[in-house]
Amino acid sequence: MKPLLESYIRYFDFLYHDPRYRFTDSRTDGMSASLTVTGPTLTWLIAIEKGQLQLSISPTRLPSNGYWISLIRQYIYGHEEIQYLPASEEIEWARENIGQIEQLFSDAPNLEATCDKLRDLLRSNAEKQWGPAASG
């Protein structure tokens, strides 16, 4: 847990300085650790697994719908291809664009439609990478 907390302090000051965000869960099993940080619109899952920092963001109203920052970035910019960035660059992009990310998930009437579009984009990215899923 210590490396995760050190990463949180180093990279996520924009969350811990924002009084709207609070820790809502933490887990560790010795090999990996995770923190859940929740605000009124966004829930962040920040984890370290096998020494690698991993991130996903979900709408607080639909917390089981988590998305990588790279996918959210692709969706916001309308890029055809997803561009995976190192975790530190993803965090910096999220820091600079947190308003856009919050806005994406703040429209309650359209929240499920937004999540459907993100899932469709994820599926499209997978099909570009590995081909269509086998039907069976």
Instruction: Sort strands 42-49 and 52-59 into parallel, antiparallel or unpaired.
Output: antiparallel
Q: Is the pLDDT of residue 86 over 70?
A: yes
Question: 């995760």: which residue's tokens?
Answer: 4
For 60-73, the DSSP string reads TTSTT--B-HHHHH
Tell whether 136 is covered by a domain.
no
Number of domains in the chain: 1
Is residue 66 a contact partner of residue 45, using CB atoms and an 8 Å limit? yes
What pLDDT does 134 receive?
A: 66
Establish if 8 belongs to a structural domain: yes
Q: Which domain holds residue 37?
A: 2-130
In a domain, 71, yes or no: yes
Indicate whether 23 belongs to any domain.
yes
Do residues 1 and 33 make contact, with C-beta atoms less than 8 angstroms apart?
Answer: yes
pTM of the model: 0.89
The yes-or-no verdict on residue 37 having pLDDT over 80 is yes
Q: Is 37 exposed, middle or buried (0-12, 13-18, 19+ CB in 10 A)?
A: buried
- Residue 136 clears pLDDT 70, i.e. is over it: no
Residue 67 within a domain: yes
pLDDT number for residue 128: 86
In a domain, 135, yes or no: no
48/11 Cα distance (integer angstroms)? 13
Looking at residue 108, its pLDDT comes to 85
User: Over pLDDT 90: what percentage of the chain?
Assistant: 82
112-130 pLDDT per residue, tens:
999 999 999 999 999 988 8
Residue found under tokens 């990588």: 68
Output the pLDDT for position 51. Answer: 87
Instruction: Pick the closest to residue 44 from 74, 18, 82, 75 (CA basis).
Output: 18
